[in-house]
Structure 1
Amino acid sequence: MNHERYIRQTVLDGFGDEAQRKLSLAKVLVVGAGGLGVPVLTYLNAMGIGTLGIVDNDVVALTNLQRQVLYSEKDIGFHKVTVAIEKLRQQNSETTLKGHTTYLSRENALDILADYDMVVDASDNFPTRYLINDACVILDKPFVYGALHSFEGQVSVFNYKGGPSYRCLFPKMPQANEVPDCNENGVLGIIPGIIGNFQALEVIKMITEVGAVLSGELLLFDGLSQNSRKIKFPVVPENLDIKALNPSYDFECSVVESTISSEAFLNLLHTDDIQVIDVRTSKEFNRVHLEESCNIPLSVIDESFEKIAFDKPIYVICQSGIRSKKAISKLREIRPNATLINVKGGMNNLNVQTVGN
């Protein structure tokens, strides 16, 4: 460990060489290398965390650059994990960097998380959050939660030294139609940086045992008013008694939903026997879309069903797969017997070279 590199930390009263040594031995996994993950990774790497793991399967897109400041225009189209590791290594060559170019899933979560001391949830969806929570309870590892919405953010620490878990605060996953979508509603670019740095700070406090950890407290931050407040919540004992992962961490659905992987979907694109409905906003569609798709935004889909050929299989796509589920739910109310298939992961899962402007 290069002592001169960290001198501005080690001279702090109450921190010192011992805290820095603890950082150098720590292993932290960051799930998500996007808006929240970028500031978490950048500052933990700079401050001397010994091992950083990164889980993400997304590629850099132009729309990321407004808030994901680790990436540049030349990185567009490349996997975030690959780009992040390259740039983090330039920032601090002493850090051990481990990339997991995959989405966290029920099948791999326990194996990936087992190698780390704690987890940072920098994801952007509820299924992943509940999966992280349950895996951390099973493995007895704390995790730092962060969430964003427009001009606001939330931070908390779960499963820390017998403290509450995520399910103690949010017992059940919401329905897909109850979830706001950041692709549609947006987020102010600087808010992820603020919330991500709050998350990184909680990691540092847990490792070094300096300061009070946000366990049992939810920090709410309002960027427009620069106000923050904390809400306390208790432990619910049964939520700390999870022995196995759930069979599924997808949104609950009242009917069996048909899905298709991005690879299988692309193989069907050039056939005449299917119809592709893109339910993103017109702005999103005009920016980038599949040539074979028809744009019917989710907000008007129940008023535009006459534009849909229900006698063909209908493949519904959005940016991440959330709005397409909502659209299918609405269309099924209109035509219960229609063949409706959700494109899993949406445009995020499609190779950018297959997408037309």
Structure 2
Amino acid sequence: MSAPALVDPGPSLAPHRAARFARHLTLPGVGELGQRRLAAARVLVIGAGGLGAPAIQYLAAAGVGRMTVIDDDVVELSNLQRQVLHTEGDLGRAKAESARSAVGLRDTEVEVTALVGRLDPSNALELFRQHDLVLDGSDNFATRYLANDAAELTATPVVWGSVHQFSGHVSVFWPGRGPMLRDLFPEIPDADSIESCAEGGVFGVLCGVVGSAMAAEALKMICGIGEPLLGRLARYDALSARWDELRFAADPDRRPVVDLEEVAVACRTLSPRGRPDDISAGEVAARLAHGGAGLVVIDVRTAAEREVAAIHGSMHVPLDRILTGGWAPIAEELGEGAVDGRDIVVACQAGIRSARAIDALAASAPTGTALRNLAGGMDAYLAATRSLSRGQ
């Protein structure tokens, strides 16, 4: 199903811009008019990670005039295997700011606004209204459903993508022109129902395939060419090198989205930031740097994750052992009376699995045990240790 051009054309191209985009100007369906539409477009990119990285690069290379990149994460060493926008020189830097700098090196006339933060119910509607199109490269269900609901409320089209291990998905959700995410998957899944990239891994080049496909959908919609993936879920299997397609339709019985109240609940549980049992990564790093008195660190990640990076002296008790055995596997590791007066800091990669572990431990831990959640997990801890090193 074809769709009209999403963006009105901007002013005539300056000679140096016409020269830069010469291969577009001779392309049927794009031409100078399409290039002027691209120059006038305002695109919001959610996430500057695996999917956002290639998408941002190709949107910038195509001459999209204005982009806003929102991401609350920092560049870590393990990101560089797939997040090709960032370099070793960006380690510890906010991904949104790294993305802005990377675009600036490619085209100084593309305007990029870097928002270091998370898309949430307090800012989603305003951000969506300020843009013609949204690319959702987020890595969690709460943000994906927030993007869907904000799109419905603002009539803003969304290009959506996801990757897991060796497979990826792409679709387009355009209110009033096709079915939405909630027509395909009505309910928000549990946050831990699918392994994260850290747990299950992801084939690095797969992000390039899916992120580039997302950029292609965005450019087509801006220019009004081809058929966007409306009512179609494109699926790519990197191991078999095959694309296939699932067609879906709007559910006539689905309740329309009228506010962000439901998704706000999911967003509040997205990250354990703000939990009363939080302990900051900076405090843990500082205390460990001075001998770690009064601290016990329990790492609930997988063995493979610990091979990449682990807190020195931490004990490994995987999350599944805690969910099954409660406090018993911790007692086996620590021995009797070893928790007296000490903070038991539970850590994972981003602070989500550790929060689940604490909830499971609370019922059977000895009375008075000080269970603390490492806010932001290993990602935050590594950034904190780098800050300490720079300050010494």
Which of the five TM-score ranges fits, normalised by the shorter chain?
Answer: 0.7 to 0.9
Give CA-to-partner distance per residue, 1:55-99, whole Å, 9 cap, x none: 112221111111111222222122222222112112112211111
| Closer, same or farther: CA 93–163 of 1 in aligned 2, 3 Å | same
2:69 pairs with one of 54, 57, 61: 54
How do residues 88-237 of structure 1 correspond to structure 2 at under 5 angstroms?
Answer: 88-236=103-251
C-alpha displacement at 1:339, in angstroms?
A: 5.8
Matched, 1:321 2:321: no
Question: Aligned partners of 2:287 and 2:301: how far apart in 1?
Answer: 18
**Given residue 376 of structure 2, which amino acid in structure 1 is its aligned partner?**
G
C-alpha displacement at 1:283, in angstroms?
A: 3.9
Matched, 1:34 2:49: yes
Secondary structure, counterpart of 1:28 in structure 2: strand
Secondary structure, counterpart of 1:178 in structure 2: coil
2:310 pairs with one of 271, 275, 289: 289
Question: Aligned partners of 2:64 and 2:76: how far apart in 1?
Answer: 28
Which residue pairs with 2:30 in the alignment?
15
Q: 4+ residue stretches of structure 1 with deviation over 4 A? A: 263-274, 308-313, 332-341
Which residue pairs with 2:3 in the alignment?
none
Using the size of structure 1 for normalisation, the TM-score is 0.88
| Closer, same or farther: CA 151–183 of 1 in aligned 2, 3 Å | same
C-alpha displacement at 1:276, in angstroms?
A: 2.9
Paired residues of 2:156 and 2:175 also in contact (CA < 8 A): yes
C-alpha displacement at 1:341, in angstroms?
A: 4.6
| Closer, same or farther: CA 148–126 of 1 in aligned 2, 3 Å | same
Identity of aligned residues (%): 37
Which residue pairs with 1:70 in the alignment?
85
Paired residues of 2:297 and 2:344 also in contact (CA < 8 A): yes
Which stretch of the first structure deviates more once superposed, 84-93 or 156-165? 156-165
C-alpha displacement at 1:162, in angstroms?
A: 3.6
| Closer, same or farther: CA 83–268 of 1 in aligned 2, 3 Å | closer
| Closer, same or farther: CA 131–292 of 1 in aligned 2, 3 Å | farther
C-alpha displacement at 1:20, in angstroms?
A: 1.1
Which stretch of the first structure deviates more once superposed, 113-122 or 32-41? 113-122
Paired residues of 1:167 and 1:239 also in contact (CA < 8 A): no
C-alpha displacement at 1:171, in angstroms?
A: 1.5
Give CA-to-partner distance per residue, 1:208-256, whole Å, 9 cap, x none: 110111111111110000111111122135453323343422459xxxx
Paired residues of 1:158 and 1:166 also in contact (CA < 8 A): yes
In structure 2, the gaps of 5 or more residues are: 1-12
Question: Aligned partners of 1:208 and 1:165: how far apart in 2?
Answer: 22
When the two structures are aligned, how many residues end up with a matched partner? 354
Which residue pairs with 2:278 in the alignment?
260
**Given residue 345 of structure 2, which amino acid in structure 1 is its aligned partner?**
Y
Q: Aligned Cα RMSD in Å?
A: 2.9
Which residue pairs with 1:331 in the alignment?
361
Which residue pairs with 1:343 in the alignment?
374
Question: Aligned partners of 2:198 and 2:216: how far apart in 1?
Answer: 27
Matched, 1:354 2:379: no
C-alpha displacement at 1:272, in angstroms?
A: 5.2
Using the size of structure 2 for normalisation, the TM-score is 0.81
| Closer, same or farther: CA 93–103 of 1 in aligned 2, 3 Å | same
Which stretch of the first structure deviates more once superposed, 33-42 or 235-244? 235-244
For the pair shown, the structure with the greater C-alpha radius of gyration is 2
In structure 1, the gaps of 5 or more residues are: none
Give CA-to-partner distance per residue, 1:318-341, whole Å, 9 cap, x none: 112333244345435655976645
Which stretch of the first structure deviates more once superposed, 165-174 or 230-239? 230-239
Paired residues of 1:146 and 1:199 also in contact (CA < 8 A): yes
Secondary structure, counterpart of 1:167 in structure 2: helix
| Closer, same or farther: CA 335–152 of 1 in aligned 2, 3 Å | same
